[in-house]
Structure 1
Amino acid sequence: MSKPRLVYILPNLFTAASIFTGIISIVEASQGHFEKAAWLIFLSLIFDGLDGRIARLTQTCSRFGLEFDSLADIIAFGAAPAMLLYFQIGARYGRFGILVSALFVVFGAIRLARFNVTDNCNDPTVFIGLPIPTAAVFVAAGSLLVGSSDSGTLGFVLLSLTLPVALLMVSNIRYPSFKRIDLNRPMMLKTLIFLTLVASLIYLFSSEGLVLLIFLYILYGPIRGIRVTMERSRRIFGKKRT
């Protein structure tokens, strides 16, 4: 029995909602409503998470859906956070602010294009390069943190950190994808404890806690890469000595 055609439309409706909220975020940022613009990026993240899960649950995954999702991501997680960053902070710093915002979108687009052409070849447990939604959440959470402070220094720090975050999107550094988590009994208990601690941190320090969590995830990739490189170097030099 064939599936109703409406089932194939359902995941794409959530993708379209992600684009819609991304556009509204840009409009709100242009009007100086930075907090609202940041939360709209988080709402786009929810829609983005739902479209793929619904497609897998209804077994309606398609090439069209994959391409549509990438186009949605470049708007919701590329253009929207870039414009939020520029209108809130970057406009004060002239060409540097423009450059950071532009490179964020360009590198995000490269990251998505590379993901689309290599998805079938990659280990599903890792991402190659920082995922663009994570980079967008970093900007949105940082925007909320800057919004709760009048410090111009904090804004410049966020703007400056966004550039290496954008570069991480096009790097070969590996990040855990959490797509396949072994939820056996011991792992389930550890996961529950970890999520409880995360929720508590965000409850106590909403903006600060969220920025810290995202920043730790971003740092995990380079730290892991350095550790793996050092271990390989030790093995190579160890073989040469023997």
Structure 2
Amino acid sequence: MTEPKRKGIYLLPNLLTTAGLFSGFFAVVSSMNGRFEAAAVAIFVAMIFDGLDGRVARITNTQSDFGAEYDSMADMVSFGVAPALVAYNWGLTELGKLGWLAAFIYVAGAALRLARFNTNIAVVDKRFFQGLASPAAAGVTAGLVWVGVEYDVNGSDYGLIVAIVTGLAGLLMVSNFKYNSFKEVNWHGKVPFVALLIIMLVFVVVATEPALVLFVVFALYACAGPINTFRSVDKVTLEHVVGDHEEDDADFADNSKPEDIKDHHN
């Protein structure tokens, strides 16, 4: 007689997801209290936990449907609601309706991005993201706020720029632009010794000006999607930018494995 399967949830990966959720909530509360630097940093901390939970789940063989759903809910808070509210409280309040509309475009884009990814998880090419991933969009938005605070910029004085960046980040999430996921990188292979020196140099550069460097990196990554798409097609059509496109489905088709579901899937 087989022993009945015990009900419950796996602790470690869901604990990391909860930590990411807490970071997103902390970012919202900090922005409400005018602590915008802490709010922006908290969003980047949430990215670290988001990157860890899926990998830990795979390493410990603790993937579950509950974990995947919980991760999506946490991502919606940390990379959907939190960046929009941080940007709104920092530089969009003086714009009135235009300000909260820009923030809402970002939130709606994140929600649609997550829903589309979760429904297409079985057919997407794991080498690419269709549309800007929500953590990357959050990096652009939170990075802008962090840079502004670092250089003593009053967000309200540049509200229109903040609105454009926030709105564009939201639209890029629901676009058809292809973004490299870097999942094909072989992290278990050997690399030349000079590669370690380059990695150390990267850490030094980030440590000198973390706000500026992280914002520039995420901004360049956001721009890479349209560039990759325009370079890969002979004639750009509306379907290459937004909407349903049959050719894109074929381009993104791949034998993605179920274990990829709990891995940076937003």
Shorter-chain TM-score bucket reads 0.7 to 0.9
Partner of 1:170: 174
1:231 Cα shift? 7.8
Aligned counterparts of 1:33 and 1:17: Cα–Cα separation in 2: 20
Please give the secondary structure, in 1, of the residue aligned with 2:120. Answer: helix
1:160 Cα shift? 1.1
1:155 Cα shift? 5.0
Q: How many residues align?
A: 232
Q: Is the 8 A contact 1:12 1:51 kept in 2?
A: yes
Q: 1:215 is matched with which residue: 219, 230, 248?
A: 219
Identity of aligned residues (%): 37
2:113 corresponds to 1:129: no
Aligned counterparts of 1:2 and 1:208: Cα–Cα separation in 2: 54
1:29 Cα shift? 0.4
Partner of 1:237: none
Give the direction of change, closer, same or farther, for the CA distance of 1:173–1:192 in structure 2 (3 Å limit). Answer: farther
Q: Is the 8 A contact 1:146 1:154 kept in 2?
A: no
Partner of 2:79: 77
Q: 1:150 is matched with which residue: 143, 148, 153?
A: 153
1:190 Cα shift? 7.5
2:230 corresponds to 1:226: yes
Q: How does 1:13-28 map to 2 (within 5 A)?
A: 13-28=15-30
Partner of 2:252: none
Amino acid in the other structure paired with 1:26: V
Amino acid in the other structure paired with 1:195: I
Q: 1:180 is matched with which residue: 172, 178, 184?
A: 184
Amino acid in the other structure paired with 2:31: A
Point out the more displaced range, 212-221 or 177-186.
177-186
Please give the secondary structure, in 1, of the residue aligned with 2:129. Answer: strand
Amino acid in the other structure paired with 1:119: I
Structure 1 stretches lacking a partner, 5+ long? 234-242
Please give the secondary structure, in 1, of the residue aligned with 2:179. Answer: strand
CA deviations 1:124-150 (Å, max 9, x no partner) are: 111111000011111111111111232
Higher helix share: 1
Q: Following TM superposition, where does structure 1 have runs of at least 4 consecutive aligned residues deviating by more than 3 angstroms?
A: 1-7, 151-156, 182-186, 188-198, 230-233
TM-score (norm 2): 0.79
Point out the more displaced range, 195-204 or 18-27.
195-204
CA deviations 1:82-138 (Å, max 9, x no partner) are: 110000001011111101111111110100011111112111111111000011111
2:55 corresponds to 1:42: no
CA deviations 1:42-93 (Å, max 9, x no partner) are: 1111111111111101111111111110000000111111110000001011
**Structure with the greater relative contact order (CA < 8 A, sep ≥ 6): 1 or 2?**
2
Aligned counterparts of 2:29 and 2:47: Cα–Cα separation in 1: 18
Aligned counterparts of 1:23 and 1:56: Cα–Cα separation in 2: 26
Aligned counterparts of 1:194 and 1:155: Cα–Cα separation in 2: 37
Aligned counterparts of 2:166 and 2:174: Cα–Cα separation in 1: 13
Point out the more displaced range, 146-155 or 101-110.
146-155
TM-score (norm 1): 0.86
Q: Is the 8 A contact 2:230 2:236 kept in 1?
A: no
Aligned counterparts of 1:185 and 1:46: Cα–Cα separation in 2: 24
2:205 corresponds to 1:201: yes
Give the direction of change, closer, same or farther, for the CA distance of 1:15–1:231 in structure 2 (3 Å limit). Answer: same
